[in-house]
Amino acid sequence: MGFKNPPSQEQKITPEQIKAIEDMPVEPWEKVELLLVKLGIKKATDFDLVSAGWSESLGEPKDEIDFNQLKMIEKSLDKLGLVYEIMPTKVENFKLYNTYKLAEDITEEDGESYKWKKKQIRLAGDKENLLRLNKAINKGDDEALGELYAFPETAIEAYKKTEEGDNCLLSFEELPEDVRNQEWINFLTFRLSKDNWKNEIETVKKWARVVKEKSPKIYKEYLDFKRFDFEGWLKEEILLPESDRSEKFKEYINEKDYELRSYQEKEHSYNENEKVKEIFGRYVQDLNLDLEQLRGKKILDLGCGGGEFVVECIKRGITKDIYGFDLELEGLALNEKYKHHFRTANFNDDFPFNNCDYIISYGAVFLDDKENWIKILNNALKSLKDEGEIRIFPIKKAGPDSDLEGIKKEEEVTKRVLSGLENDWAMEWELKPIDIKVAGYDKDVWLEQVLIVRKKGER
């Protein structure tokens, strides 16, 4: 008795061929795919080489595909004995949305049109599968593609049914936590089905196991990439002397510099309504707020300025129990309709609102004076419910050879003030990195963090 459909035989791979994949100038997930195709576990795969983007309206010069990189890839593919096809270069359009607005508030006008050049590389273990891959891509046949990529049959079926309107797919969040925390789950590249996910994850485990066994180097590179800890990376890089910073971080500084400049130019063209959405978006992003958690809660905004965040929370139905105060109220905060939500007050004095779930502050608390800092945090802790939370942005941090002396002291003063407060208050606190800021001709750079204090009670 034989198998009607014999399980695919794993193909041989030599140590030289493994090294050729390890050294290829492609992304880590592409190395994983190449290894699995070479081993015959997957029948085919495809990936793109892209140029940098350019904006014609900003008069930026076109960029080209890196042909040296392409040559090196071709050489390695020849060494691997894979069959492949390099598709003609295409120019594609995309939009870059440089805005703080929440995704649902973004409109077409927020986007700048960019172009880039793209070359697709299609490859397979043999000619027949390359032909099938070409056909499947050209027809947009997801079922055939799923089969070539070796996705489990039940997952392909569930994907097809979902496209036809019957949702049979499991979201990642629906997986049990112990599965989500496994190392091998990072190798999941298809959608699991609700009915058969337990069997389907066996495929994922196998991919992870094979990659780890054949090339621990690719396995590690891939996992490092998947688990890239952006916040940890920022914190690590900012603490290094400039000369020791990675190329990647230097590139990121340039990107941020460019992004902030183009954002500032665009900001002027916003009307009042769009400005409010921007302010709301930057509060959510930089204070790292979860809007679901804020629902129905009592919130206080220190130094609320024009009161945009307060009014938006009311208008969006997040909570009606939200207030703000400022030394000098302006704009929306002076509107008769919202007057019960605002007061003129100084946050160095007792706060005019109590028993809050959240006390937040954006760009208003200055940390140069330790005594003031203690007063503000004490006042905030007094006006907070037990289990309530304070969030203050930004607490800045500069590198060791930065000459931004004021900023260099901010984190240290904050830490000292907080350890002092721990004598009077039961609380937990953390400084969570949000992003870097770049300013000035010399591209001064610093890290911006949100201070989160959770009150447990009074001591």
Ligand X SMILES: C[S@@+](CC[C@H](N)C(=O)[O-])C[C@H]1O[C@@H](n2cnc3c(N)ncnc32)[C@H](O)[C@@H]1O
The answer to the question of residue 327 lying near ligand X (CB under 6 A) is: yes
Kindly provide the b/e burial profile for residues 255-275, where b requires at least 16 CB atoms within 10 angstroms of the residue's own CB: ebbeeeeeeeeeeeeeeeebe
DSSP alpha helix (H) spans, 64-196: 67-80, 127-139, 142-148, 153-163, 177-180
Q: Which among 129-137, 193-201, 342-350, 439-447 is the span making contact with ligand X, rule CB under 6 A?
A: 342-350
Q: Which of 304, 377, 380, 395 binds ligand X (CB under 6 A)?
A: 304
Told to check if 303 binds ligand X by CB under 6 A, we report yes
Count CB neighbours of 118 within 10 A.
Answer: 15
Burial group, residue 5, by CB count within 10 angstroms (0-12, 13-18, 19+): exposed
Q: Do residues 431 and 414 lie in contact, with contact meaning Cβ atoms separated by under 8 Å?
A: yes
The three-point CA angle 318-322-327 to 5° equals 140
362 binds ligand X (CB under 6 A): yes
Q: Please give the residues from 307 up to 326 whose contact with ligand X meets the rule CB under 6 A.
A: 326
Using CA atoms, how far residue 74 sits from 46, 84, 96, 197, in Å, is: 13, 9, 31, 37
Residue 188 or 279: which CB sits closer to ligand X? 279
Residue type, 139: K
Rounded Cα distance between 440 and 401, Å, is: 17
Part of the chain binding ligand X (CB under 6 A), chosen from 184-192, 244-252, 358-366, 422-430 = 358-366
Q: Which stretch binds ligand X (CB under 6 A): 12-20, 65-73, 137-145, 361-369?
A: 361-369
Contact flag: residue 348 with ligand X (CB under 6 A): yes
- Backbone torsions φ then ψ of 296, nearest 5 degrees: 75, 5
Q: Does 125 bind ligand X (CB under 6 A)?
A: no
Q: Indicate whether 328 belongs to the interface with ligand X (CB under 6 A).
A: yes
Q: Residue 373, interface with ligand X (CB under 6 A)? A: no
176, 69 Cβ separation under 8 angstroms? no
Taking the complex as a whole, the smallest distance from the CB of residue 310 to ligand X amounts, in Å, to 10
Restricting to residues 41-70, name those near ligand X by CB under 6 A: none
Is position 187 an interface residue for ligand X (rule: CB under 6 A)? Answer: no
Query: Nearer Cβ to ligand X, position 232 or 363?
Result: 363
Distances (CA, A) of 50 to 27, 32, 117: 12, 19, 6
Which residue has 């989160």 as its token pair? 452
Does residue number 276 form part of the binding site for ligand X (CB under 6 A)?
no
Among 296, 363, 406, 457, binds ligand X (CB under 6 A): 363
| Site stretch for ligand X (CB under 6 A), options 78-86, 104-112, 261-269, 345-353 | 345-353
Size of the site for ligand X (CB under 6 A): 13
By CB under 6 A, name the one of 82, 123, 279, 421 that touches ligand X.
Answer: 279
Residue 171 DSSP symbol: P
Shortest CB 370 distance to ligand X, Å = 15
Decide if residue 216 touches ligand X (CB under 6 A). no
Count helices and strands (H / E) in the chain. 16, 11
> Which span (142-150, 164-172, 246-254, 341-349) binds ligand X, by CB under 6 A?
341-349
- In one-letter notation, the amino acid at residue 375 is K
Q: Residue 346 interacts with ligand X (CB under 6 A)?
A: yes
Nearer to ligand X, 23 or 368 (CB): 368
Q: Which residue matches tokens 């399980």?
A: 7
User: What gap in Å lies between CA 42 and CA 178, rounded to an integer?
Assistant: 27
- Which CB atom, from 78 or from 369, has the smaller least distance to ligand X? 369
Nearest to 80 by CA among 26, 160, 143: 26
CB nearer ligand X, residue 151 or residue 283: 283
457 φ/ψ angles, rounded to the nearest 5 degrees: 155, -175
- How far is it, in rounded angstroms, from Cα 327 to Cα 329? 7
Question: Quick one: which of 116, 149, 222, 347 contacts ligand X (CB under 6 A)?
Answer: 347
Q: What is the widest separation between alpha-carbon atoms in the chain?
A: 87
Tell the smallest beta-carbon distance from residue 282 to ligand X (Å): 7
Query: In whole angstroms, how close is the CB of 424 to ligand X at the nearest point?
Result: 22
Pairing of strands 342-344, 444-458: unpaired
Q: In the complex with ligand X, which residue's Cβ is closer, 327 or 334?
A: 327
Exposure on the CB side of residue 293, measured as CA atoms within 13 A = 8
Binding status of residue 305 toward ligand X by CB under 6 A: yes
| Listed ranges 101-109, 158-166, 243-251, 359-367: which one lies at the site for ligand X (CB under 6 A) | 359-367
Gyration radius of the chain's alpha carbons: 27
Nearest approach in angstroms of CB 396 to ligand X is 14
- Asked if 406 touches ligand X (CB under 6 A), the answer is no
CB of 303 to ligand X, least distance (A): 3
Least distance in angstroms from the C-beta of 371 to ligand X: 13
List contacts with ligand X (CB under 6 A).
279, 303-305, 326-328, 346-348, 362-364
